[in-house]
């Protein structure tokens, strides 16, 4: 075998190996990236679903005066779900502090609209006017999360 | 005097309600039993938020902003007396919520409604 044949063959083989290794690396990178994107999309769907569950519970809660038999259970369901989505947004945006701060603002506004005032009080009166604020802050939170997620 | 207050361990894992008549875990009792003695002595402690099953805004407002509204402390006095520890996922936002309640509270003012 002369050198004129061997060198191009070696170069060809090396190029093929490098391409193959590069493809594997790229493939792994994109697989990982795709999986991460899918997980983020799933988290966003959960955030949206649970936010609207809270919205429904909170609007029902504030539509009527205190019900000693069931208020504690409903209040617990609202606070528990709020705590859950709060952890979810922290996980979702933890790598971007500026986005995390923005989503916290929307999250806190939603929380305050649901659980401030006489929330958890034994003398609570109905406050249907608050339902408007709950709706606004719920939709704002979901929209904000979707907008910020595109920046991740 | 305790170097810190762990709300979940020292008071309740289920904080909720403003007034004593609202039941165990209310904000007024927490303020009077845990926060007031500290701030009156001019001490400084860590308040650990981790471990509780969430915090309704009404509890946080009554406990912390109540020091301004009901006891006449300034927002700066309140915020320098307590350092908030929240390392659990989802809990760091409670710190900004408390700070916001305290900063917007006024002596003898009514609790603010969000709408």
The interface pTM score, or ipTM, of the predicted complex is: 0.90
pLDDT digits (tens, 9 = 90+) for B66-89: 999 999 999 999 999 999 999 999
Query: What is the reported pLDDT for A68?
Result: 87
- Averaged pLDDT for residues A136-150: 97
Among the listed residues A84, A92, A95, the one whose alpha carbon sits nearest the alpha carbon of residue A146: A92
Please say if the pLDDT value at position A32 is more than 60: yes
Tell me the pLDDT band of A140, cut-offs 50, 70 and 90.
very high
Burial B32-60 (b: 16+ CB within 10 A, else e): bebbbebbeeeeebebbbeebebbbbbbb
Percent of chain B with pLDDT over 90: 90
Query: What is the reported pLDDT for B114?
Result: 44
Tell me the pLDDT band of B109, cut-offs 50, 70 and 90.
low
The Cβ of residue A67 has, within 10 Å, a number of other Cβ atoms equal to 12
Q: What are φ and ψ of residue B85, in 5° steps?
A: -110, 120
Q: What is the mean pLDDT of chain B?
A: 93
pLDDT digits (tens, 9 = 90+) for B19-30: 999 999 999 999
Q: What is the mean pLDDT of chain A?
A: 91
Name the 3-class secondary structure at B85.
strand
Contacts with B56 from chain A: Cβ below 8 Å: 75, 78-79, 115-116, 119-120
Q: What are φ and ψ of residue B86, in 5° steps?
A: -145, 90
H/E run at residue A21: helix A3-63
Q: Which residue of B has its CA nearest to A102?
A: B93
How far apart, in whole angstroms, are the C-alpha atoms of residue A103 and residue B22?
31
Give, in order, the Cα–Cα distances in Å from A25 to each of A12, A16, A28, A107. Answer: 20, 14, 5, 38
Query: What is the reported pLDDT for A13?
Result: 74
Most B CBs within 10 Å, among A43, A68, A85, A86, to test the B interface: A86
Query: What is the reported pLDDT for A33?
Result: 80
Which tokens is B83 given?
């350092």
Contacts with A87 from chain B: Cβ below 8 Å: 88-90
Tell me the pLDDT band of A3, cut-offs 50, 70 and 90.
low
Chain B touched by A104 (CB under 8 Å): yes
Percent of chain B with pLDDT over 70: 92
- Averaged pLDDT for residues B32-57: 97
Contacts with B19 from chain A: Cβ below 8 Å: 121-122
CB contact under 8 A, A79 and B54: yes
How far apart, in whole angstroms, are the C-alpha atoms of residue A76 and residue A78?
5
How far apart, in whole angstroms, are the C-alpha atoms of residue A92 and residue B54?
19
- CA B39 to mean position of chain CA atoms: 12
Q: A124: distance to nearest CA of chain B, Å? A: 10
Please identify among residues 54-93 of chain B the ones whose CB lies closer than 8 Å to any CB of chain A: 54-59, 61, 88-93
Query: What is the reported pLDDT for B113?
Result: 45
pLDDT digits (tens, 9 = 90+) for A39-95: 999 999 999 999 999 999 999 999 999 998 899 999 999 999 999 999 999 999 999
């Amino acid at each position: 075998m002369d050198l004129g044949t061997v060198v191009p063959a070696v170069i060809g083989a090396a190029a093929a190996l490098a391409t193959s290794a590069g493809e594997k690396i790229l493939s792994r990178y994109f697989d990982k990236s795709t999986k991460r994107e899918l997980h983020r999309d799933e988290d966003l769907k959960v955030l949206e679903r649970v936010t609207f569950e809270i919205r429904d519970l909170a609007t029902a809660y504030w539509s009527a005066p205190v019900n000693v038999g069931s208020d504690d259970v409903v209040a617990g369901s609202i606070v528990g779900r709020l705590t859950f989505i709060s952890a979810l947004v922290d996980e979702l945006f933890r790598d971007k502090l500026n986005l995390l701060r923005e989503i916290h603002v929307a999250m806190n506004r939603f929380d305050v609209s649901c659980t401030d005032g006489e929330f958890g009080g034994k003398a609570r009166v109905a406050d249907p006017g608050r339902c408007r604020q709950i709706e606004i802050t719920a939709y704002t939170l979901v929209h904000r999360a979707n907008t910020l997620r595109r920046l991740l | 005097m305790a170097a810190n207050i762990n709300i979940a361990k020292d008071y309740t894992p289920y904080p909720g309600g403003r007034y004593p008549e609202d039941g165990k875990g209310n904000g007024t009792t927490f303020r009077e039993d845990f926060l007031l003695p500290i701030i009156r002595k001019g001490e400084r402690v860590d308040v650990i938020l981790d471990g509780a099953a969430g915090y309704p805004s009404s509890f946080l407002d009554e406990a912390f902003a109540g020091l301004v509204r009901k006891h006449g402390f300034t927002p700066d006095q309140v915020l320098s007396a307590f350092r908030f520890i929240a390392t659990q996922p989802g809990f760091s936002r409670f710190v900004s919520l408390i700070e916001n309640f305290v900063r917007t509270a006024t002596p003898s003012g009514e609790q603010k409604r969000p709408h």
